[in-house]
Amino acid sequence: MAIPALKFFSFVLLIVALTELNMASDTMSKTQFNNISDSENGTLVSNDGTFELGFFTPGSSRNRYLGIWYKKIPLRTYVWVANRENPIEGSSGVLTINSTGHLVLLGQNDSIVWSADYRTSPVKGAPTFELLDTGNLVLRDTDSHNYSENYYLWQSFDHPSDTLLPGMKLGWDLKTGVERRLSSWKSPDDPSVGDFTCGIELSRFQELVMRKGSEEYYRSGPWNGIRFSGAPELRRNPLFEFDFVSNESELYYTYHLTSKSVTSRIVMNQTNYQRERYIWNPTTRTWKVFASVPRDYCDNYDLCGAYGNCIIGDSPVCQCLKGFIRNSTEKVTDWSEGCARNKPLECERGDKGGFMKLSGLKLPDTKRSRVDGSLNLRECRAKCLNNCSCTAYANSDIRGKGTGCIMWFGELIDVRQFSDGGGQDMYIRLHSSELEKDDHKVKIVVTVLSLILVVFGALLVAHYIRRFMTRPSTSDNTQTGELISQNNEDQSPNLELPLFDLPTIATATNHFSISNKIGEGGYGPVYRGMLENGQEIAAKRLSRSSGQGLNEFKNEVALISKLQHRNLVKLLGCCIQGEEKLLIYEYMPNKSLDLFIFDQTRSKLLNWPKRFSIICGIARGLLYLHQDSRLRIIHRDLKASNVLLDAEMNPKISDFGLARTVMGDQSEGNTKRVVGTYGYMAPEYAIDGLFSTKSDVFSFGILMLEIITGKKNRGLYHLDRGLNLIDHAWKLWKEGRPLEVIDPCFHVSSNTSQQLRSIHVGLLCVQEHPEDRPSMSDAVVMLSNSSTLPQPKQPGFSMAKNNLGADSLSSKHEFTSNEITVTLLEAR
Ligand SMILES: *[C@@H]1O[C@H](CO)[C@@H](O)[C@H](O)[C@H]1NC(C)=O
Ligand SMILES: *[C@@H]1O[C@H](CO)[C@@H](O)[C@H](O)[C@H]1NC(C)=O
Ligand SMILES: *[C@@H]1O[C@H](CO)[C@@H](O)[C@H](O)[C@H]1NC(C)=O
Ligand SMILES: *[C@@H]1O[C@H](CO)[C@@H](O)[C@H](O)[C@H]1NC(C)=O
Ligand SMILES: *[C@@H]1O[C@H](CO)[C@@H](O)[C@H](O)[C@H]1NC(C)=O
Ligand SMILES: *[C@@H]1O[C@H](CO)[C@@H](O)[C@H](O)[C@H]1NC(C)=O
Ligand SMILES: *[C@@H]1O[C@H](CO)[C@@H](O)[C@H](O)[C@H]1NC(C)=O
Ligand SMILES: *[C@@H]1O[C@H](CO)[C@@H](O)[C@H](O)[C@H]1NC(C)=O
Ligand SMILES: *[C@@H]1O[C@H](CO)[C@@H](O)[C@H](O)[C@H]1NC(C)=O
């Protein structure tokens, strides 16, 4: 009995010893792991294995840096760098605690490359460092068993690089004066401090400010108790919780993930000057951008000047606040001079004016503001009214019914307006007469409207009475009938296509003489001619060497004969004789659009109203092809040279030879044979041979931008020549200078809102993803009314993004001009 008891006892002892040993080694790894050496590939891993601290070489650099990254994420992503400004050459780096108890990074010859600067005076026991599961590298006194951050001698979370991890505080420790500010890497190869930063500035009231160098770049708007006033999309979500803390000792923004299985970070990205929130997608093993700012160009700091108001969707986006007018109308796109009061205040002379309520705003820059949290809105108003330099006030905290008072002194800048429920109320000071005027205006409008209604109603009644009386002998029906058939002649099913014989056409075109040749279309020369009855024609003679066979020819003839629309070139007939195949069209005296828009002298003949009507005409023609005709026709080669102009410069789309009918609802097809023109082809069509009405929309977008700008889109093969037209337009758009893309010939024009709108629609049409592009019917509506338009996304075939696709195509086929119509067999 004794022996087993002893055995059992020693077994228990063994377990205890093992456990103790285990514990000892556990503390070892935390406390005595005092050296991390690059030459020994040493790293320090957080307890749960999420983060790793070690040495690395970023991008194509050859330098070594000490940093922290996600251990479990295969795409190496650095969240913190110690020696940002002092890289180590070679693998001599060692992270250690030196003899005076400081955390130092030693480089060559044991020189100190970086050290953790902590204010607390050196401690009795030797400090140790530790990498927490949050990604925080902390330095603690060995004796201290306090794990609260108050007892850290130093922590990396107080010295962020470009990344804000969950639990980090962006802002100030007001007691110690430590500012935690994010700053981008200079480049993916160089983690040193770039010029793109984000933090909370004490000169302002509770807002995040991003700077590009020393310039303000983006402002979040003041924290209003629920969110930042300029970030209505920051709301409760299943992914993360956010908070803003403001008291005597602390002022910061922070967030926490709600689930441990989600990995997310915020990063300042100098590549595109965006602050981005990424989410790790474990299935695709990529970082996905969840949100980013600035979101649009109204987010650009102070875009619209003093008392300006940026409204995305309006054209121009810059407007003046109510009661203000622009004080410079010379500069169409530059609003830096801002707006001035319709009627200056006369406060000093005793007329204090009053306040007008504006809603849905991102509150103005708080640089010159004052906050009194104890006042309610009524008291706030009284206080503002009594100080002549107070220009506006609002609630500083909108929770509940709203409390607190924020007042602005001097000019109001960087205001924007949100359409869908975002933003908040502000009360702006105006001259008393402005407030009454507004009342007046409403009254007048209401009176006028009711008058119009009454008159209109009376007319309507009269009309019906007349109509009712004359009904038996009505001729109204035939009139409307005619109207329909004018637009939509494909109603008549047995439309007969005249067949011309060859001698007739030969005579008409002077035996196809060179002097009668007016162009060379995709499939052969086009001749001008005159029939015996005096009618002018254009005869397209299909070259025998062209790829078009009898089938395609018949297809084209059948198609075109069924399509009649004001904005389509009319086919008069055809001629088939032996090898000879001809199409006879009506003659267009002004030839094609490209001869005008790309020609320096002739482009002057097309002023903006003309150009706009041409754009609308093409849009209607294309819409007819896509929707209104009984057949659903995809053009597939829409371009400037395929748009002809009649004597009144009305546009007519030509060349349906490439159009392929897809019957009924089929609006998409897949083809191995890509036919089209570089520079106009949608990415999905050029690369994958996928065509749809949306690939026509893309070509239409390009064509539109060409008409607006007077420049050719250089297509996707000029990789070495920098930006193409879409890139250029997109860049200007994002920078808030969209109008600068316009043809200088008619830049000075009063119709800027129409121009802006056209650029906007153009950019929507050339978006990379077909599903994002509007349909032609959407496009027609967008062009014709003034509703709010969605923001365009990245265009297709932008150099910035699609280098891969562009490269693979351009390396296979060397094109030198986008005028060449190409037929690519098996584009894959
Ligand atoms: C590494 O740590 C040990 C003590 O653990 C120390 O003696 C040694 O000098 C350190 N090495 C370097 C390069 O700092
Ligand atoms: C460190 O890693 C490199 C590359 O993986 C390897 O060649 C080298 O032998 C390693 N050194 C040590 C001390 O493990
Ligand atoms: C330890 O590092 C600190 C911080 O860089 C430095 O001031 C101090 O001189 C170092 N001590 C020794 C003995 O090198
Ligand atoms: C390191 O020491 C060597 C020889 O003493 C010297 O040539 C070299 O310049 C030193 N390097 C640095 C970075 O101090
Ligand atoms: C740890 O925290 C407790 C309670 O806050 C405090 O009483 C104690 O002095 C702290 N210990 C050290 C070593 O700082
Ligand atoms: C400030 O707020 C933080 C977070 O809510 C809190 O932990 C801290 O105690 C507060 N400090 C003061 C002085 O109120
Ligand atoms: C910055 O954005 C680019 C693409 O826009 C991306 O490739 C890069 O990884 C981003 N940088 C960081 C630090 O996330
Ligand atoms: C525009 O108006 C503001 C007042 O809102 C004024 O301060 C500024 O001087 C004006 N600028 C010009 C160029 O008139
Ligand atoms: C009005 O407000 C400004 C800015 O806070 C202040 O400097 C000024 O003294 C105030 N004037 C009066 C009369 O209260």
Residue 643 sits in the same domain as residue 750: yes
Atom of ligand 6 nearest to the CA of 250: 1
Residue 369 has a pLDDT of: 96
| Ligand 1 atom 5: residue of nearest CA | 34
Angstrom distance (rounded) from CA 84 to CA 68? 12
Q: Which residues line ligand 1 (CB under 6 A)?
A: 34-35, 94, 96
Question: What's the sign of the alpha-carbon dihedral 500, 501, 503, 506?
Answer: positive
Q: Which residue out of 302, 637, 655, 696 is catalytically annotated?
A: 637
Tell me: the pLDDT tens digits for 122-169? 555 678 889 999 999 998 876 656 566 667 889 999 999 999 999 999
Whether residue 443 is contained in a domain is answered as no
Question: What is the band of 579 on the pLDDT scale with cuts at 50, 70, 90?
Answer: confident
Final residue before a domain boundary, out of 376, 411, 437: 437
Q: Ligand 7 pocket, 391 CB below 6 A?
A: no
Maximum Cα interatomic distance, the chain, rounded to a whole number of Å: 131
Residue owning tokens 């693998």: 91
Residue 170 has a pLDDT of: 97
Stretch 658-686: mean pLDDT, rounded?
56
Residue 11 has a pLDDT of: 34
Residue 727 has a pLDDT of: 84
Whether residue 2 is contained in a domain is answered as no
Q: Name the residue of 115, 117, 118, 120 whose CB sits within 8 Å of the most ligand 3 atoms, as the mutation to test its pocket.
A: 115
373 to each of 376, 396, 398, 722, how far by Cα in Å? 8, 7, 11, 53
Residue 776 sits in the same domain as residue 651: yes
Residue 548 has a pLDDT of: 55
Angstrom distance (rounded) from CA 801 to CA 625? 31
Lowest-pLDDT range, 278-292, 592-606, 615-629, 786-800? 786-800
CATH of the domain at 696: 1.10.510.10
| Tally of domains in the chain | 5
Please confirm, yes or no, whether 637 is among the known catalytic residues: yes
Stretch 672-684: mean pLDDT, rounded?
68
Q: Which two tokens stand for residue 197?
A: 């930063």
| pLDDT beyond 80 at 644 | yes
Q: Ligand 2 pocket, 40 CB below 6 A?
A: yes
Residue 806 has a pLDDT of: 31
CATH of the domain at 118: 2.90.10.10
Q: Which two tokens stand for residue 369?
A: 């503001």
Residue 472 has a pLDDT of: 38
- pLDDT > 70: what percent of the chain? 76
- For residue 25, the CA-to-ligand 5 centroid distance in Å is 25
Residue 168 sits in the same domain as residue 150: no
Q: Name the residue of 100, 114, 118 whose CB sits within 8 Å of the most ligand 3 atoms, as the mutation to test its pocket.
A: 100
Whether residue 288 is contained in a domain is answered as yes
Final residue before a domain boundary, out of 130, 159, 188: 159
Residue 191 sits in the same domain as residue 304: no
| Ligand 2 atom 2: residue of nearest CA | 41
Q: Which of 431-450 are b and which e, b meaning 16 or more Cβ less than 10 Å from the residue's Cβ?
A: beebbeeeeeeeeeeeeeee
Question: What is the band of 820 on the pLDDT scale with cuts at 50, 70, 90?
Answer: very low
Give one DSSP letter per residue of 469-521, joined into a string.
Answer: HTGGG--HHHHHHHHHHHH-GGG-TTPPPPBPPHHHHHHHTTTT-GGGEEEEE
Residue 623 sits in the same domain as residue 771: yes
Most confident of 73-87, 418-432, 559-573, 584-598: 73-87
Residue 664 has a pLDDT of: 31
Q: Per the omega criterion (within 30 degrees of 0), is the bond before 792 cis?
A: no
Whether residue 442 is contained in a domain is answered as no
More confident: 356 or 17? 356
The answer to whether 404 and 209 are in contact (CB under 8 A) is no
Question: What is the band of 810 on the pLDDT scale with cuts at 50, 70, 90?
Answer: very low
Angstrom distance (rounded) from CA 497 to CA 578? 19
Angstrom distance (rounded) from CA 563 to CA 569? 9
113 to each of 130, 159, 332, 544, how far by Cα in Å? 20, 16, 53, 76
Instruction: Write down the pTM of the prediction.
Output: 0.59
Residue 443 has a pLDDT of: 62
- For residue 132, the CA-to-ligand 5 centroid distance in Å is 20
On the 0-12 / 13-18 / 19+ scale of CB atoms within 10 A, 93 is: buried
Question: What is the band of 547 on the pLDDT scale with cuts at 50, 70, 90?
Answer: low
Most confident of 40-54, 119-133, 409-423, 462-476: 40-54
Tell me: the pLDDT tens digits for 689-698? 677 889 999 9
Lowest-pLDDT range, 27-36, 311-320, 568-577? 27-36
Residue 289 sits in the same domain as residue 323: no
Stretch 66-88: mean pLDDT, rounded?
96
Q: How far is CA 147 from the centre of its chain?
A: 45
More confident: 687 or 576? 576
Instruction: Report the candidate in 195, 227, 192, 194 with the shortest Cα–Cα distance to residue 208.
Output: 227
Residue 598 sits in the same domain as residue 738: yes
Lowest-pLDDT range, 347-351, 624-628, 778-782? 624-628
Angstrom distance (rounded) from CA 60 to CA 536? 66
Atom of ligand 1 nearest to the CA of 110: 13
More confident: 445 or 673? 445
| DSSP character at residue 322 | T
For the CA of 393, the nearest ligand? 9
Final residue before a domain boundary, out of 381, 410, 437: 437
Stretch 551-556: mean pLDDT, rounded?
66
| DSSP character at residue 529 | E
Most confident of 390-399, 591-600, 743-752: 390-399
Instruction: Count H helices and E strands in the chain, helices first.
Output: 14, 46
| pLDDT beyond 80 at 92 | yes
The answer to whether 365 and 413 are in contact (CB under 8 A) is yes
Q: Look over the chain and give the mean of its residue pLDDT values, rounded to a whole number.
A: 79
| pLDDT beyond 60 at 539 | yes
Tell me: the pLDDT tens digits for 249-270? 999 999 999 888 889 999 999 9
Residue 750 sits in the same domain as residue 612: yes
Tell me: the pLDDT tens digits for 480-513? 222 222 333 333 334 466 788 888 888 888 888 8
Residue 518 sits in the same domain as residue 610: no
Whether residue 175 is contained in a domain is answered as yes
Where in the sequence is the domain holding 483, given as residue range(s)?
A: 479-586
Q: Name the residue of 92, 108, 110, 113 whose CB sits within 8 Å of the most ligand 4 atoms, as the mutation to test its pocket.
A: 108
Atom of ligand 6 nearest to the CA of 248: 13
For the CA of 289, the nearest ligand? 7
Most confident of 139-148, 434-443, 609-618, 623-632: 609-618
Strand, helix or coil for residue 725: helix
- For residue 294, the CA-to-ligand 8 centroid distance in Å is 27
Lowest-pLDDT range, 100-114, 308-322, 479-493? 479-493
| DSSP character at residue 564 | -
Residue 343 has a pLDDT of: 92
Tell me: the pLDDT tens digits for 766-782? 998 899 999 998 898 88
Lowest-pLDDT range, 51-55, 440-444, 459-463, 642-646? 440-444
The answer to whether 495 and 561 are in contact (CB under 8 A) is yes
Residue 664 sits in the same domain as residue 739: yes
541 to each of 480, 581, 820, how far by Cα in Å? 39, 6, 18
Whether residue 708 is contained in a domain is answered as yes
CATH of the domain at 571: 3.30.200.20
Q: Which residues line ligand 6 (CB under 6 A)?
A: 245, 247-250
On the 0-12 / 13-18 / 19+ scale of CB atoms within 10 A, 243 is: exposed
Residue 574 has a pLDDT of: 83
Residue 572 sits in the same domain as residue 431: no
Stretch 572-592: mean pLDDT, rounded?
84
Residue 512 sits in the same domain as residue 628: no
